[in-house]
Amino acid sequence: MPVNLPRLITNVKALNNVKTNSVTYLEPRHFFREVNNLIESLVVLPEAREKANVDRSKIIAEANTNSTILFKICLRFYLCSKRIFFEHRLDKQTFDQLMTNIKETFRSAIVHPGEMVGSIAANSIGEPATQMTLNTFHSAGISSKNVTLGVPRLKEVINVAKQLKTPYMKIFLDPSVSKSEEQANIIGAKI
């Protein structure tokens, strides 16, 4: 999702000191109006400036609908009235602040043409792989520790290696077949 809604809700609640037993003074009419306005304002592509090109306007409208439909569903889930009024206990000021944060975060999440998303994706894969590598250094020399972690294991997974260096699988079996090694091997081979 382009916006981490649970984190935004938690941050707004912490900033405004909203507790689980706080009294909410948010009017339902204001709540529904703001949520509907937010959902209608979510556009990825701006409308066509020239009104003569009807086909282009239809394409842009369809692209906006298709690109935001999943996020709109997510918004309806996290911003449902029952959650906002009874679970999160947001008041009018906190709720308006949340709406503003969602709009700003959504607008900043839109990828502009020519933006280097490949390098960002590579960084997102490389950083956890580096952390996995650092974790293996701490277990060097310990015989009980499984050493095929980190980059070697990541390489096996990405390349779908046929021969694993340390094949390991943990399978929880039904009690009826848990005593038979042969049955466990058959189930492991199927997986």
Mean pLDDT of 1-6: 90
Mean pLDDT of 158-166: 76
Q: Which tops the pLDDT comparison, 154 or 1?
A: 1
Tracing tokens 């520790």 back to the chain, one arrives at: 145
Mean pLDDT of 80-98: 91
Alpha-carbon distance values, 171 to 49, 95, 189, 190 (Å): 60, 47, 11, 12
Please tell me the predicted confidence (pLDDT) of residue 36: 93
CA–CA separation, 85 and 23 (whole Å):
9
CA–CA separation, 93 and 16 (whole Å):
9
pLDDT band at residue 7 under the 50/70/90 scheme: very high
Please tell me the predicted confidence (pLDDT) of residue 132: 66
pLDDT for 137 beyond 70: no
Q: What one-letter code names the amino acid at 79?
A: L
* Region of poorest pLDDT, from 29-43, 84-98, 129-143: 129-143
Please tell me the predicted confidence (pLDDT) of residue 114: 82
pLDDT for 96 beyond 90: yes
pLDDT band at residue 52 under the 50/70/90 scheme: low
Indicate left, alpha or beta for 149 from its phi (over 0: left) and psi (-120 to 50: alpha): beta
pLDDT band at residue 33 under the 50/70/90 scheme: very high
What is this structure's pTM?
0.59
Kindly give, in sequence order, each residue whose CB lies less than 8 Å from that of residue 117, ignoring residues fewer than 6 positions away.
111
Nearest to residue 82, comparing CAs of 42, 35, 126, 135? Answer: 35
Please tell me the predicted confidence (pLDDT) of residue 97: 94
Burial-class residue 90 by CB neighbours within 10 Å (0-12, 13-18, 19+). buried
